[in-house]
Amino acid sequence: MTDHDLPVIDLAPLAAGTQEGLMAVAAEIGHAAREIGFFYVRNHGVDAALIERVFKASHQLFGQPLDAKMALTRDFFRTNRGYVPMKGENLDPSKPSDLKEAFNIGLDLAPDDPRILAGEPFRAVNQWPELPGWKETLLSYFDEVWALGRRLHQAISVDLGIDRNFFENKLDAPMATLRLLHYPPQPASAEAGQIGAGTHTDYGNITILLPDEVGGLEVQRRDCAWLKAPTIEGAFVCNIGDCLMRWTNDVYVSTPHRVVNTSGRERYSIAFFLDPNPDAEVACLPGCVGEGETPKYPAISGADYLKTRLDASYEPVKHARDSNS
């Protein structure tokens, strides 16, 4: 690995459906997950035309007037759905708010879905802009990367020595978030320490990121040096999240990263955060703790774990808004 490279994993053997292919991909993902926590995947099976459409949809959304976007912020802090305005998030609470705007959707549920009516944690109705074909594009992409995430978890399971389908019933109704992101050029007048996305780790199991050609993602190595993660055409950037790190008793590592957009250009990216089902028990996996040792973390539900992380990220910004209202 060089100062400018992350592992690039070819998923074609996984798509072939052979045991040998599964084992080969599992070994590569396992190595990356234990060492740097980040890797690219290519030959992932997500349609290139769909990728082009979802980037177009992102440009359409963020190009709308502010009042149209702000109409999509209803009850965001409870639902984690809709629009996040510029400086509306603070991923590194020790620094000024992030120079980005975002839009989130989750599993698409009708208002009368039993999970909505029962108030199940992190279940909410998505908010949609009035743009023709926009909803269909986002939902198609959501389904594609959700399926990719489940395939990656099969390889992860094999690497960890558990049943390849261990995660299937923990990811079949996930608290996943598809997030569109827009970063303006970082101005010279930005507050000290203010960047596109502050240093943070992701909260869920795995993140599947699709950056545009502008770049700006940086990954922190174990020696604290920052490693640039340039865009590779046709590849996703994937990283291990805190929830999977906890599940593996820190065998896998969730690595700090940030976005610094000094390109002078607008930057767009599309992130899919695959969190488990709300009721999934996140507990130390077999083989991830030595004989006679105690797991580092107590068992916790997926919903309770996500709540602790989101509260920490949004509370400083929410408090500032409440104080000014």
How does pLDDT run across 69-127, given as a tens digit for each residue?
999 988 787 788 999 998 888 888 888 888 999 999 999 999 999 999 999 988 999 99
∠ CA 71-130-172, nearest 5°, is 90
**Tokens standing for 200?**
């943070």
Lowest pLDDT segment from 40-54, 120-134, 226-240, 305-319: 305-319
Question: Which residues 6+ apart lie within 8 Å of 103 measured at CB?
Answer: 58, 61, 62, 69, 72, 82, 83, 84, 179, 180
**Tokens standing for 214?**
């502008």
pLDDT-based confidence at residue 312 (cuts at 50, 70, 90): low
Describe the strand order of the beta sheet including 177-183 as a list of residue ranges.
8-10, 38-42, 236-240, 206-211, 267-274, 177-183, 101-105, 82-84
Closest CA to 32 of 226, 240, 211: 240
Mean pLDDT of the chain: 91
CA distance 193 to 288: 38
**Tokens standing for 271?**
């992130």
CA distance 38 to 87: 26
Q: Please give the pLDDT value at position 189.
A: 65
Greatest Cα pair distance in the chain: 60
β-strands 82-84, 101-105 pairing: antiparallel
Angle between helix 48-62 and 134-160 (nearest 10): 120
Q: Please give the pLDDT value at position 190.
A: 65
**Tokens standing for 168?**
């299937």
**What number of residues does the chain have?**
325
CA distance 273 to 275: 6
**Tokens standing for 166?**
């261990």
Closest CA to 146 of 196, 221, 206: 206
278-298: per-residue pLDDT in tens? 999 999 998 898 888 899 999
Mean pLDDT within 206-214 = 97
Q: Scanning the structure block, which residue is given the tokens 């698409």?
A: 108
Q: Please give the pLDDT value at position 313.
A: 58
167-194: per-residue pLDDT in tens? 999 999 999 999 999 999 887 766 777 8
Q: Please give the pLDDT value at position 37.
A: 97
Query: Cβ of 117: how many Cβ atoms within 10 Å?
Result: 10
Please answer whether residues 216 and 261 qualify as being in contact, where contact means their C-beta atoms are separated by less than 8 angstroms: yes
pLDDT-based confidence at residue 319 (cuts at 50, 70, 90): very low
CATH class for the domain made up of 8-324: mainly beta
Domain ranges of the chain: 8-324
Stated pTM of the model: 0.93
pLDDT-based confidence at residue 309 (cuts at 50, 70, 90): confident
pLDDT-based confidence at residue 318 (cuts at 50, 70, 90): very low
